[in-house]
Each structure stands twice: as structure tokens, then as C-alpha cells.
Amino acid sequence: MAEAAAKRSGKLKVFLGYAAGVGKTYKMLEEAQQLKQQGHDVVLGYFEPHGRQDTIAKIEGLELIPRKRVEYRGHFFEEMNTDAILARQPEICAVDEFPHTNVPGSPRGKRWEDVMILIEAGIDVLTTMNVQHLESLNDQMREITGIQVRETIPDWVVKQADEVVLIDLTPRALLNRLRRGVVYGPEKAERAMENFFKEQTLAALRELALRQTAHEVDLRQGDGLPSALLTGAASARETLTPAANEPRERILIHVTEAAATAGMIRRGRRVADYLKADCFAVCVLPTAGMAVLPKATSEAIEQHLDFARKLHIETRVLEGADAAEALVDFARRNGVTQIFLARPPKRSIPWLRRKHPAMKIVELAKDMQVTVVAERRYATPPA
Amino acid sequence: MPDSPYRRPSPEELLRQVEAEESYRKRGKLKVFLGYASGVGKTFRMLDEGRRRKMRGEDVVVASLQPSASAEVRALLSGFEEIPAATGLGGPAIDVPAVLRRRPGVCLIDGLAYENPPGSQHAERWEDVEELLEAGISVITSINLQFVQERQQQVQQILGRSVKESVPETFLRTADEIEIVDAPPEYCVTRAAQGVGGEAVDPVQLEHQLSELREIALVLAAEVVDQQLELYLRRQGIAQVYGTHERILVCVTPRSNASLMIRRGRRQADRFHGDLHVVYVQQDGLNPADRKILEENLACAREANALVEILQGEEPIESILQFAARQGITQIFVGHSPPSGWLSGWKKNPVERLIMGAEGIDVRIFPHSGTRHG
């Protein structure tokens, strides 16, 4: 805590929505204006008007830090000018579109990384994002929308926020806004309504945003217990679980080259976050190491380990002649309470199959809990 | 718990809801702004919506406003036509006959949870609203979580005090739209810290209480959205499960370490704000000792507030998978396959069959009683 005392870091507040047009930016600017009126030193670090008149009207009187022009392959792009904000050293800075990916050649790859720099410098940041950009929800998003969201934010980044506020709007109200041309121009609005902005898609996303916010609120209650009172099972809990005495879960994620691994890592991370559990990712290589593996295999494994580290999951590489045995042995020695595996792919001729390593792990770990994660069924992507 | 508010409606119930909805097509639309405490800005949002609708040409009137309205709210109010409250009966109440005579398109009613004075046509204000809706008048209203009947016990446990007025959650669930008015607790702390009846409130404790209420309100809204979404999908004939709502299914047998599985299931369901189901697939020829253990396991499930069901079926795995598909289960908990006992008689390992058959569902496998506990 000594370093925290040396330099107070800024606070982060996230305005969370579920689609374009629900009013995140508007709400953020409204708060920026209020803070300014109360005498705080507020600047606008990045603002994306999207041609929305109501929102544009809200920036009046706020100091806007000019964007930085970045050249990439002969074109100019505009990004947030983090250095200029640091030089200006405001008390509070509003930054639109938290999950944005910077153009290549920028000092940092992601806007959230820029925001972290501002916070480290002691600047409070207000920012906006949609729930679909949360990394651990990536598979669920594809399940709902059929779209693979590329711009994601690791969950731990959002967890750093001091506050997450939900900007709620019913899908019907949002669709009305869309029809009235408040969100997009007429052509884009029509296309949007045929694809992403279908009522059921919006309702599902809204539900996720509500649940995510409830989870963020739960996390910040800080007592390590879920809200017992939410379930109405208070009496059962008392007799069944003195929750404080429950052992802390330790989740081990089995990393392989299989494509399903990425989804399983996300799921494992999410479950670990909800259970407030420890989480680590382990892969088992042949005794001769990575070198004997085909290039595609070793690359896929590296990629998955790298992905796990990005989600703040500690990784380990083991070596052993029998992957299943090595993994289960490691799990036993390290007090793992739950092993996460990806479901084996279906074979066309099941009776010819050799026992899949995942099934072998299930067999070997009869004294442990094993979770087999199935891939989610994805919605058909919009045409 | 058949009377639990968290129970997922059966297809028949959903269908009935659809039919009811259709027969009510001429009904006014109900929109509710739900907040978790006073001071989050429900009234402001309600009036702001009224203002915007008025600007777009809808015929909007105000039929009730709470006496505690802030200056900000008063300023917004000046643009509206107000239908004065009926005061004849010794307390304020919506003048329902006057509203019906005026027949506005939209009626704004601040504070849904009021009891009408004795002698009124309806005992509660939400019943007045029901009458307006039936008459084809749309209503926009606001409510504080602590007045939602089914949540009152929880709220009372958190706040240590209770309120008399209430609105049934079933009525709120008939709303066409529920919008949550969210704000971090700090916004209401200043207001609430001024105290109820002058008593001093510790701001730290208050903030904690408020954030618990906030969580409940968010989950309540999510559940309403989930229910309406399901209704919509059913009505459109779309067979899709989104998995937004975690539903955990624990499969018990006399052999399984049911208490561990149910405890873990309960915890997982709580943390994910999801539901917990426990099933047993009926088997013939259970010996008395096993039957007793099974009864204990099921009692344990009921105590954990799980939705317990006994399934029938020749093939246990099939029965479980069918149940899971029907209920939109996202995680199945089962015991490891022992050398003999659990579903014995299967040539292929039943757990493997379950894993391969569970489309889009995670399967968590538990050790049996007597083996190491995780």
C-alpha cells in the first residue's frame, strides 16, 4: 500500500450500455457538466459525436483536448491525445468508447490502456462501453448476435473501475430512437434494424447488461459473500453452508491446441470471477518439449497460453509422457478443486475412437471435480 | 418451491400469458421506472419521458405527484396538465373518474405504491392504474424496490425496517416495459443520510445496504427481461436458448454426494443470480436403505430452495438431457461414474454419454461420498 500512498491514482467510472443509442455518451457528458458546475476541472479527452444532435449539444462549455493525428499506410486517423491530456493534468477526464482499438503505430494498442495511464497519473476518468465488448462474454455474444466481437476488454480492466453504472433503456424505446433517426442516418438505421437491432437480440443484450451490472455491484460489496438475501434461501444457507467456512475454489484450465480452448478459457475465467476463485491455465507437453510438436500445434498452444495471460490467468507448462496423468497429478498436488476441460469433438464413427484425453482425465480424476465445457451454439451471422 | 417468485413459468403458463396479452391488445401500455432507493431519479426520468412524448405530439397528463418532489422535478412539471388529486376521503388519491373523463393518451403517476384512503373504490393505487389501463389509457409510473411485495422481506432484512404499502410483483411483470433507474449509491446516500424520522445513519453501512438493494433491483429487472424475452421467442416460434440466465441442474442418486453437489449448485446459482434445479430419475427396485438416502438428498435439495423434480424414463441420460433442453439449463452437475451402482447396466460410460449429449451445456462431475471433497 506504500505506493498507493505515494501517488493517489485516479478513479474510474464506467457507463455501461447494451447497444449504440441507449445514451451512454449523453449520460457521461451530463455528469461531466454537473461536475464542472460543482467547480471541478473537467476536460473531454475523446468524444465521438456520431452526428447525434442531443449529444453534441451536451459538450458545450467543456474543454475538448484536440485529437492526435496518426498516419497509417498513407491515411490519417485521429486518436485520443494521451500526452496532451497528461500535460494538461485535469482533475477529471471524460473518454468515449473505452474498448476502442487504436490505429497501428499508436503508442498503445487499446484505448483502455491509455485510460490506465491517465488513472495512474491521478486523473479521474469517466468512460463508456457496451456489455458486448467484455471478453468473457464473447462466446455468449456470438450465441446471441451471430457476430464475433473483435474489440474486447479483459474483465479485470472493468473490475478496476470504482463504479459501473448501467444506462438502461428498453429495446422498444431504443427502436423508436432508431426509427426517428436519432441514432443513425436512415439507411444505416434500416440495415441495423434488420440485423443487430432486432427486438429479441436487444432484449438478450439488455438482460446481460443488467446481470453484469448486478455482478459488478456484488463484487464491490467486498465482503466476499454473495448477496445471501437475493436468493431467498437464507435459511437453507445457514444450515447448509456457513459460506465463510467454504474452501476457496481453485480452478485449473487445461490448455491444448484445440480450437475450443479459447472459449473454455473465457468460461473458466468467468466462473472463477463469479466464484471469487483462483484460476490458472496449464498445458502438458511431451517430455521432449515444444520442439517435437508440429508447428501449427505449438503455435496454437502458445496462442492459448498468451490469451490466458491477457485475462490475468497464471499459466504453467508441464511435461509428461501421458498428458492426462500429468495434469491430474499436478491438480492433486496443488489443491485444485475443479479441472476445466473442453468437450472432445464428436467423432463420426464413435465405436472406433480411442479414449480422448479429456475423457481419460475424467476417468483419472474420480476424486476431484471436473467441468467439461461445451462450445456454445452460435446464432447465424446476419447476412 | 412452487410459489417462489423465481420459478420459471411452464410452457402452459407462458401460453396463457400470450393469450391474455392478445385479449388485452386494446389495453393501455404500462411503463414502470424502477429504482432501488429514493433519490436515484425515478420521478425525474418519468417526467422527462412524459415531456419527450408530449413534444412528439402525445396527449400527456399528470395524475399524481409525490409531495416530496424536488425543485428540479417541479420545474419539469410546469409544462404538464395536472389532474388534481381527489381529496374528499381524507387523503390524496388519484381522481380516477376525472382521468377517465379527460381520457388522455398517457397518464403519469408518480409513486405506484400508495394505499388509497378508506372508502375509495380500490384499496390500492396499482388497482386504479389497472382500471386506467383497461380503459385504454397508457400509464407511466415509478416505484421504489422496497414496495415490491415479493421482495419486501429481503429489503426489510437489509434495511431493518419495513414499509406498509406494496405492489404485487405479478402486476409489475405485466408491464410492457420496465426500465431501471441506476445510479451508484453515493447519489442517494446524501439524501438518505438525512435520516428517516431524524435518526442518524452511518454512511458506510448505508452505502453497503444501498448497494445490496441495487443488486436486487438489477436482478429483478433482468428476470423480467428474461421472462419477456422468452415469451417473445415463443410467440415468434423461435426455438433458441440464449443462456443469459444461468440455470443449474443437479442430478442426484442414492450414491451421489448430494449435499456437496447441492451446496456447490446453490453457491453457483447465487453467484450467477441464477436458478437451481435438482432432479432424480426414478429407478425401480431401490432397496429401503437407498430409498432413505434418496429421501434425505431430496430434502436437502428442498432446503436449499432448489426446484425439485422426479423424472420418469427408461433411459436416465435421455430424461436428463430432455429436461435440460426444456428448462434451458446451462450447467449440469452429476456424480462420477462409479465402477458399479450409478446407472449400472449401461455398457457405455453414462457420464461420457451425458457429456457428449449435452449441447451447449457445461457438465460438472463430482466425486462420490467417501472420496475426497473439493
Is residue A227 included in any domain, yes or no?
no
State the average pLDDT over residues B4-8.
48
How far is it, in rounded angstroms, from Cα B219 to Cα B150?
13
B51: its cell numbers? 415531456
Domain edge (last residue) among A203, A219, A235: A219
Q: What element of type H or E holds B308?
A: strand B307-311
Mean pLDDT of chain B: 84
pLDDT at B348: 65
Residue type, B374: G
CATH code at position A151: 3.40.50.300
* Cβ pair B259, A219 in contact under 8 A: no
How far is it, in rounded angstroms, from Cα A24 to Cα B182?
12
Same domain, A50 and A164: yes
Is residue A228 included in any domain, yes or no?
no
Pick the residue with more confidence: B235 or A219?
A219
Q: What is the pLDDT of residues B129-155, one digit of tens each?
A: 999 999 999 999 999 999 999 888 888
CATH code at position A299: 3.40.50.620
Q: Which residues of A touch B182 (CB under 8 A)?
A: 165-168, 213
Q: What is the pLDDT of residues A292-343, one digit of tens each?
A: 899 999 999 999 999 999 999 999 999 999 999 999 999 999 999 999 999 9
A329: its cell numbers? 497429478
pLDDT at A266 over 70: yes
pLDDT at B88 over 90: no
Same domain, A94 and A198: yes
How far is it, in rounded angstroms, from Cα B342 to Cα B294?
13
pLDDT at A226 over 80: no
Q: Which range among A202-211, A240-249, B62-71, B292-301 shows the weakest confidence by mean pLDDT?
A: A240-249
Domains of chain B: 11-235 (3.40.50.300), 247-366 (3.40.50.620)
Same domain, A202 and A314: no
State the average pLDDT over residues B167-184.
91
Q: Which of A15, A179, A213, A340 to mutate to test the interface with B (most CBs of B within 10 A)?
A: A213
* Cβ pair B182, A168 in contact under 8 A: yes
pLDDT at B5: 40
Same domain, A264 and A137: no
Residues 6+ apart with CB under 8 A from A354: none
Bridge pairing between strands A42-46 and A92-95: parallel
How far is it, in rounded angstroms, from Cα A176 to Cα B259?
50
**Does the interface ipTM go beyond 0.85?**
no
Is residue A236 included in any domain, yes or no?
no
Same domain, A169 and A63: yes
DSSP conformational letter for B63: E
Is residue A229 included in any domain, yes or no?
no
Q: Which residues of A touch B266 (CB under 8 A)?
A: 231, 233, 236-237, 240-241
What is the CB neighbour count within 10 angstroms for residue B342?
Answer: 21
The residue with cell 451447449 is B360
Number of domains in chain A: 2
Same domain, A35 and A128: yes
pLDDT at A171: 92
Q: Percentage of residues in chain A with pLDDT exceeding 90?
A: 61
Shortest CA gap A365–chain B (Å) = 8
Q: What is the pLDDT of residues B31-51, one digit of tens each?
A: 999 999 888 888 989 999 999
* Cβ pair A322, A290 in contact under 8 A: no
* pLDDT band at B276; cut points 50, 70, 90: very high
Q: Which residues of B touch A211 (CB under 8 A)?
A: 218-219, 222, 244-245, 273
Q: Which residues of A touch B274 (CB under 8 A)?
A: none
pLDDT at A234 over 60: no
Is residue A100 included in any domain, yes or no?
yes
pLDDT at A319: 93
A6: its cell numbers? 505515494
Shortest CA gap A328–chain B (Å) = 14
**Which backbone phi and psi does B10 adopt, to 5 degrees?**
-75, 165
B199: its cell numbers? 435518526
**How far are the Cα atoms of A101, B122, B281 from residue B305, in angstroms, in the given order?**
45, 35, 19
pLDDT at B209: 87
pLDDT at B341: 46
Pick the residue with more confidence: B231 or B254?
B254
Q: What is the pLDDT of residues A27-66, one digit of tens each?
A: 999 999 999 999 999 999 999 888 788 888 899 999 999 9
* pLDDT band at B4; cut points 50, 70, 90: very low
Residue type, B98: A
Beta-carbon separation of A211 and B218 below 8 A: yes
Which pTM does this prediction carry? 0.84
pLDDT at B77: 80
b (16+ CB within 10 A) / e for B29-51: bbbbbbbbbbbbbbbbbbbebbb
pLDDT at B277 over 80: yes
How far is it, in rounded angstroms, from Cα B283 to Cα A103?
63
Helix, strand, coil % over all residues of chain B, rounded to 5: 45, 15, 40
pLDDT at B279 over 60: yes
Is residue A383 included in any domain, yes or no?
no
The residue range of the domain holding A97 is 2-219
DSSP conformational letter for A382: P
To 5 degrees, how large is the angle CA B120–CA B121–CA B122?
Answer: 90
> What pairs with residue A339 in β-bridges?
A252, A370
The residue with cell 485516479 is A10
Interface check B360 vs A, CB under 8 A: yes
How far is it, in rounded angstroms, from Cα A266 to Cα A272?
10
Size of interface A-B (CB pairs under 8 A): 208
Is residue A199 included in any domain, yes or no?
yes
Q: Which residues of A touch B183 (CB under 8 A)?
A: 165
State the average pLDDT over residues B94-102.
94
Same domain, A212 and A264: no
Same domain, A211 and A334: no
Same domain, A180 and A298: no
Beta-carbon separation of A229 and B356 below 8 A: no
Is residue A226 included in any domain, yes or no?
no
pLDDT at A14 over 70: yes
pLDDT at A228: 40
State the average pLDDT over residues A184-211.
86
Same domain, A278 and A132: no
Same domain, A347 and A204: no
A58: its cell numbers? 451536451
Domain edge (last residue) among A200, A219, A238: A219
Beta-carbon separation of B358 and A214 below 8 A: no
Helix, strand, coil % over all residues of chain A, rounded to 5: 45, 20, 40
Same domain, A124 and A256: no
